[in-house]
Structure formats: structure tokens, C-alpha cells
Amino acid sequence: METELNHMREYYEGGYTKEASWREAQLKGLRSFIIEKQEDIMNALLQDLGKHQVEAFRDEIGTLMKTLNLALKNLKKWMSAKKAELPKIALLTSAEIVPEPFGLVLIISSWNFPFGLSLEPVIGAVAAGNTVVLKPSELSPACSSVLASGLATYLDHKAIKVIQGGPQETQQLLHQRWDKIFFTGSAHVGRIVMSAAVNHLTPVTLELGGKCPAVVDSLSSSWDIEVAVKRIAVGKFGTCAGQACIAIDYVIVEKEYCSKLVELLKVWIKKMFGENPKHTKTISRIVNKHHFFRLKNLLADAKVNESVVYGGSMDEQDLFIEPTILVDPPLEASIMTEEIFGPLLPIITVGKIEDSIKFLRSRPKPLALYVFTKSQTLQRRILSETSSGSLTFNDAILQYAADTLPFGGVGESGFGMYHGKFSFDTFSHHKAIVRRSFLTDFWYRYPPWTLNKLQLLEVSYNYDYLGLLLVVLGLKKPSNRRHF
């Protein structure tokens, strides 16, 4: 492995990846891959996760296309130097910030959106001119395999490699020297990644998860309520069966409106996923037995089981779990302390909707916070009194598709961000460059130090041009400084 990586470094040092033409070729290659191999991609997703092709397109293929088009359109702009404003006293000097690639980067991806979460960072990394090693998740092996063959075929294999494997391969990779590591996954593994990065002082981006709450206020219009319920249903059950870092984890609603919400959810779950969701195949599968049993165990607790008001049926053979709703399970139960990552939706009731703010503040900062309300007061309060990676009003998941918004966590949900230009920036070192001329040289920069020189330096650094003139002309009185 070390030899392979050394070759990649040598290739990077050759300077090829820094050329705009190389980067464009890679982005176009990725686009061709997604267009030409779409069927393979969809089949792999169906195989690994039972993901419906429309969901696959909506959440992975479509978003990647959008990102690729954006990157191709803006690449030159992103690569260009940005002039930095200088004070007027800086005669014949120019300053700019130039983005440069880090070098060799490692991207560790996740199993739930194996194409999206692998390739969105890869797009950023190659657009920024880096060489890349991608380690897709072994829990989505069909997708991992399509990625490996696809990238080898469509991209510059000397600069972009896919290394498949499990925890052992990941450990091996983490022992190597990287110029940047981009990790998507759990907080537990995130700690391992960051600790490994210490050795070489490698900068990291950690895209983790958490319990993403949806606060649902009372909505008066029946149209609004219906739209809200649909968005909640698809934001939970319709997004890889809730196995998404930004899926709605649980709902908070006023006691008064709880039963109405539950009734409407039941209606729309049936409309969206059919009377028999296992057979309509519109809901994704649980990825493997380990997670299936993890989810099953969340309902094992008697009190939690009692709180189930809808669904609950599971099929180990098919790794299927029905959309399930719970009302007020105990807050100390695992289902309310751990990230659920599955199609179980607890609804927590509060007296007044404003109480949700205190509830949210007492918990770790989530990757996403969703609030369904038309009250501007509540919107303002939640915006300023809570913290989360992102905050979306009256919808869920969609923020993922917004290129102009940074996508990333805060606190327990991670640090760093990407999407759109933020992807490019996250894989770039922003180098400051100042160019000076020999002509403008101020004698007061140099020792021996005198009070006069001190004054001159002070006024120049504080950009006090008038002061500068007065001191030079001997017209400004020296201030009372005893150390001279």
C-alpha cells in the first residue's frame, strides 16, 4: 500500500493534477460514469439497500449530476486567485489568496448513500487538484465494487484510486501519511480517524450524525398540515428507510396536536408506501443483520414497546422493518439517547411548542434541525437559541441539495463542511501571497530604533497617513514614552 501511495505522491508532484484541464477531464469522466453506468449504479443500490430507483436518482444520482454540472461551470472561477484589499500605504504591493491542493487526500465514505457520500467529496477533491484515495464502505459491497471499476475506467487511475475493504484496510490506510482526511460516518469511528490523523498533523473534516429532531408546530391550514406530514414521512421513511445522517430522527409536537399528527402520518404512510410496504418495495431495506437487530432491540424495552402506535412489524429474512411510530417512549431509553438510523419514529410531546427549545438545548447539537411552523417568532427564537449543523424550516432533507449552503455539523455532529464551492474549499489550502517592489522602502522599519521611528511605524500600521506626514515633517510632537 505504501508503494502505491508513494507513486500517487510522485504523480501529484509532477503537477498534472494542478492543471484545469486535468480537473475538468476528471469531472467529465465522473459525469460520463454516472450517465453511462446508471443502470449498474441503480442495480447496486437495489442490491445493497433495496433502494428504489427513483429514490436512488433523487438522492444520489440526480444530486451528483447537479454537483458535477456546477463544478464544471465554476471550476475556473473557483481556481482563480482572490485579490486581498490592502491599505493605501502599501504602495506597489499586491496581495492575493491562491487556492492550492493539499496533495494526497483520503476519503472514507458511508454505506447509506454509497455513491453520493463517496463522490460528492471526490468531486471537491479533484476539482481542487488533489490525488484521491476513496475507501467506500464494505457494508454496501455491490456499490463499492461498481465504484471501484467505474472510477478505474472513467478517471485517471494514477491519481484516483478506490481501495475496498473493511476495518482492517481502513486501519492500514489511517496509518499512512495523508494531506487531508474526509470522513463520513459515526462519531465513534470519527474519533478513531481524528486520533490517527494526529500523527501527521493531518487536517480532517468529520461529517457525523446525531439525532435530527423535527419540531412540529400547530398549523392551521389543512393544506399546510398535509404538506408538512408528507415531508416528515418522506424525510424519515422515504430516505433510505431513515438510515440517513439527516433523516428526521424524532418529532417534537404539542400534546394537543399529537393524535392528529399521528393520524395523518398513518394516512400518508399508507398512501406513499402502500398497504403492504414490504411488497411495494418503495421503502429501502435495513442494510444488514447487525443493524436490523440493533433496531429490533430498540423496541425490546417493555415501556418502549408499549409506546408503539403504528407499525412495528419486522422481517429478518428480508431485512425489512415497517414504518413505525411511537408516542412518548421513555427519554432514557436507547431509542431516545442513540441515533436511530432506521424507520422508527418517536414522537415526543410537550406542553407548549416553545418548550421544545429547552429540550433541544439540553441535547447534543444535531447535524440538522427541522422546524415546521409559520410563526415568525418561533422561527426567530429557534434560529437564535439553538445550534445545529443546519436549520430547515417547513421541510426536511432538501438542504442537502442546496449548493450555496454549507453542509456540515457542529459539536457532536462533526466539523468542516462541503457541497458546492465549500467542497472545493475544504480540499484546498488558501495560500496568502504578497508581492512587493524594491522601490518602496521605509527607512523606519530598520534599527537602530529611535522614538521617531517608533512613531512612524505606529502611524503606518494604524494607517494614519496624516500622522505619517506630520511625523516625517517633524510637525508631530513625540508622545510621552518613558522607555526611550
User: Which parts of 15-74 interact with another protein (CB under 8 A)?
Assistant: 15, 18, 52-55, 57-58, 62-63, 65-66, 69
Stretch that binds another protein, among 145-153, 224-232, 288-296, 332-340 (CB under 8 A): 224-232
Cis before 448? omega within 30: yes
CA torsion angle 397 398 404 410 (round to 10): -20
Smallest gap, in angstroms, from Cβ of residue 148 to another protein? Answer: 25
Does 84 bind another protein (CB under 8 A)? Our answer is yes
Burial of 4 (0-12, 13-18, 19+ CB in 10 A): exposed
Q: Rule CB under 8 A: is residue 483 a binding residue for another protein?
A: yes
φ, ψ for residue 62 (rounded to 5)? -60, -45
Residue 89 lies near another protein (rule: CB under 8 A): no
The minimum distance between CB 293 and another protein, in angstroms, equals: 26
| 423-456 as b/e: b if 16+ CB within 10 A | bbbbbbeeeeeeeeeeeeeeebeeeeeeeebbbb
- Minimum distance from residue 305 beta carbon to another protein (Å): 27
Q: Helix, strand or coil for residue 268?
A: helix
Instruction: State yes or no: residue 100 binds another protein (CB under 8 A).
Output: yes
Which listed residue (55, 207, 254, 322) is catalytic? 207
Q: Which of 129, 105, 50 is nearest to 319 (CA)?
A: 50
Options 97-105, 128-136, 165-173, 242-250: segment touching another protein (CB under 8 A): 97-105
Per the annotation, the verdict on 275 as an active-site residue is: no
Q: How far is CA 151 from CA 136, 138, 461, in A?
A: 12, 17, 52
* Among residues 102, 111, 115, 427, the one that binds another protein under rule CB under 8 A: 102
Q: Is 207 a catalytic residue?
A: yes
Q: Helix (H, G, I), strand (E, B), or coil: what is residue 103?
A: coil
Please tell me the distance from the alpha carbon of residue 10 to that of residue 388, in angstroms, as a whole number: 41
In whole angstroms, give the CA distance from residue 56 to residue 32: 17
Q: Which stretch binds another protein (CB under 8 A): 121-129, 336-344, 458-466, 470-478?
A: 458-466
| Site for another protein, residues 265 to 284, rule: CB under 8 A | 271-274, 280, 282-283
Q: Report how many helices (DSSP H) and strands (DSSP E) the chain contains, helices first.
A: 20, 18
Cβ atoms of residues 382 and 371 within 8 Å: yes
Q: 144 or 423: whose CB is closer to another protein?
A: 423
> Which residue in the set 263, 315, 332, 385 belongs to the binding site for another protein (CB under 8 A)?
385
Distance CA 45, CA 16 (A): 34
Which residue's CB is nearer to another protein, number 300 or number 398?
398
Q: Which residues within the stretch 159-198 sit at the binding site for another protein (CB under 8 A)?
A: 179, 187, 190-191, 194-195, 197-198
Asked if 77 is part of the footprint of another protein (rule: CB under 8 A), the reply reads: no
CA distance 36 to 107: 24
Instruction: Name residues contacting another protein, limited to 399-428 (CB under 8 A).
Output: 399, 401-407, 410-412, 414-417
List the one residue from 332, 355, 436, 478 that touches another protein (CB under 8 A).
436
Sign of the torsion angle spanned by Cα atoms 27, 28, 34, 37: negative
CB of 226 to another protein, least distance (A): 9
- Complete DSSP assignment for 218-235: ---SHHHHHHHHHHHHHH
Closer of 250 and 372 to another protein (Cβ):
372
85 makes contact with another protein (CB under 8 A): yes
477 is a contact residue toward another protein (CB under 8 A): no
- Asked if 230 is part of the footprint of another protein (rule: CB under 8 A), the reply reads yes
Active site positions, annotated: 207, 245
